[in-house]
Amino acid sequence: MATGAIALQFVDSEMKISRKILKFTEPLTYRRGWRRAQRSLFRVPLAPMLAHIDRERAREIQQRYMNSTAGYAKYANIEPWLQLNRERVQDLNLHRSSPKRVLDLGCGGGFFLFILKNLGHSVLGLDVERVPLFGELLELFEVPRLVYRINAFEPLPDLGEKLDWITAFSVNFNLYHPSKERWGTAEWDFLLHDLQARLAPGGKIFFGLNPLYNGGYHTPEIRDLFLSRGADVERERIFFENGVRL
């Protein structure tokens, strides 16, 4: 190979390495890389947790939904969703925490809460009763659920105790039905005030947002609201580590 070609290859390789290094120094890339590293260091085995469920019942549920064309049928295959929710637990450091009282809004089949329950936390899900499969999974996991629909400008029901964590993943309660129009700042601010009133001292709130139709996760106005209320905003991740600033 000619010397010039070798030199060009070397320069190209150096540029690729430099781009990778620069990318890793970006805050978002660094944060996500750090979370991946932490998951590897502090593992959460699922096998001991799965040993506590009725595996025959789990297989029966999976087989019954195997050929279903319903979008939610994918959740009948429980292990991939437990793996995803294990990462959520790890990223919030709840696998290394003393027992907490956790409310999960839009809990679905209860995968996240099932893991937390096995780690010693006190858990409660809140969701509508629209998908029969989710009810079956919650029963399988022995995760309690309060059936309730979150509506704009309406407080949550009395839960009887203060909470250490309020979480919500793949949020869609911020949609008006049937128009699919999304909440504005007033609706979000009402919810934030309501949730803060339910937190114990030192309580935290975490939202994992669904993307907007344009590929983003929030409008500039809603992002500014989250920031003004004390959130750390990282794309879809909205974390009120110190609660809501009122």
Taking the model in full, what pTM does it have? Answer: 0.87
- Residues 205, 240: Cα–Cα separation, whole Å: 5
Among the residue ranges 19-23, 35-39, 49-53, 241-245, the one predicted with the least confidence is 19-23
Is there a single domain that holds both residue 37 and residue 50? Answer: no
Among the residue ranges 12-21, 39-48, 177-186, the one predicted with the least confidence is 12-21
Is there a single domain that holds both residue 154 and residue 227? Answer: yes
Residue 16: which pLDDT band, with cuts at 50, 70 and 90? low
pLDDT above 90 (res 233): yes
- Residues 134, 141: Cα–Cα separation, whole Å: 10
Is there a single domain that holds both residue 26 and residue 71? Answer: no
Is there a single domain that holds both residue 113 and residue 5? Answer: no
Quote the pLDDT of residue 32. 82
Q: Is 135:110 a contact under the CB 8 Å cutoff? A: no
Is there a single domain that holds both residue 207 and residue 100? Answer: yes
Is there a single domain that holds both residue 124 and residue 159? Answer: yes
Is there a single domain that holds both residue 5 and residue 23? Answer: yes
- Cα separations (Å) of 133 from 46, 83, 128, 130, 196? 21, 19, 12, 9, 31
The total number of structural domains in the chain stands at 2
Is there a single domain that holds both residue 61 and residue 168? Answer: yes
* CATH code: domain of residue 113: 3.40.50.150
Domain that holds residue 26: 1-41
Is there a single domain that holds both residue 228 and residue 133? Answer: yes
Is there a single domain that holds both residue 135 and residue 236? Answer: yes
When the pLDDT of each residue in the chain is averaged and rounded to a whole number, the result is: 90
Quote the pLDDT of residue 146. 98
Is there a single domain that holds both residue 122 and residue 152? Answer: yes
Q: Is 32:91 a contact under the CB 8 Å cutoff? A: no
pLDDT, one tens digit per residue, over 169-179 is 999 999 998 88
Is there a single domain that holds both residue 143 and residue 193? Answer: yes
